[in-house]
Amino acid sequence: MRVFDNEDWVITSAGGVTGEAYLAQSEQKKLFLKRNSSPFLAVLSAEGIVPKLLWTKRLENGDVISAQRWLEGRELKAHEMKSERVAKLLKKIHQSEPLVFMLARLGKEAVTPQHFLNNIMDKAVSFNDWVPIKQALAFLTRTKEKVKTHYKRVCHSDINHNNWLLDEDDQLYLVDWDQAIIADPALDLALILYWYIDEADWESWLKGYGWTLTPDLQLRMHWYMVAQTLIFFFYHYPRNKKEAEFYLNNLIHYNQHSSRF
């Protein structure tokens, strides 16, 4: 991949699932490069949600390369997800009209509970005899009408602590937006609260976000947590049985609490 016109730069893989991310390094500078990133990146940069977009360039083969400032920082640790700054940045994301506008322009339609359920049902065909999966599907089907909401915002959908970065100036960013959708913000909230925060502290954390922990929100978060756990399980099952087992055990735990709703 030839991006620069001189030989001063060394380009190496930056890892990641897609294999489309690179580190470009010269004697004096480092850049984060991404191949064929979405135009959505420019809006995320303008909103201060991801590191600053410096330039984009179209290569001779038609690929478009984007360059961002390389962060000399670190990922958040799991316990840091409890912080109010995480809640405030997520609130900023969910309230951003430019993010919704750009995703809609790119052809993304709002994802409803029925869309989630249809996707899950298609993938569940090979697991018809698995009791935890049958129980989860029964809960999702029984309550799908109760979790409908007209309030749809841009959701990250993969909001684990490894995607939250602190730079050298203590600026917080949320990166890796390949799974972004327009949906109920309860989707993102569920992933943070269920994974990182004791249930006794949910109300306090949500106060920093700007919402109240109502029975309706509790149901919506539980619904999306069950749905996302199924999606994660289906993704990992053919690739990493240990990871798949982790999500299956989580699903069994969530099923035990589904009767509350």
Instruction: List residues with catalytic annotation.
Output: 158
Query: Tokens representing 95?
Result: 């309230």
Residue 162 identity (one-letter amino acid) = N
SS3 128: coil
Q: Are 219 and 143 in contact (CB under 8 A)?
A: yes
In 3D, which of 254, 252, 87, 108 has the Cα closest to residue 177? 108
Query: Tokens representing 182?
Result: 């327009």
Q: 99: which residues sit within 8 A by CB, 6+ positions away?
A: 40, 43, 44, 47, 93, 153, 154
Distance (Å, whole) CA 254 – CA 244: 15
Residue 103: which H helix or E strand, with range?
A: helix 97-105
What is the torsional sign of CA 140, 146, 148, 154?
negative
Contacts 24+ apart (CB under 8 A), 92-96: 92/47, 92/49, 93/47, 93/49, 93/153, 93/154, 93/156, 93/174, 94/153, 94/154, 94/155, 94/185, 94/188, 95/153, 96/47, 96/49, 96/153, 96/154
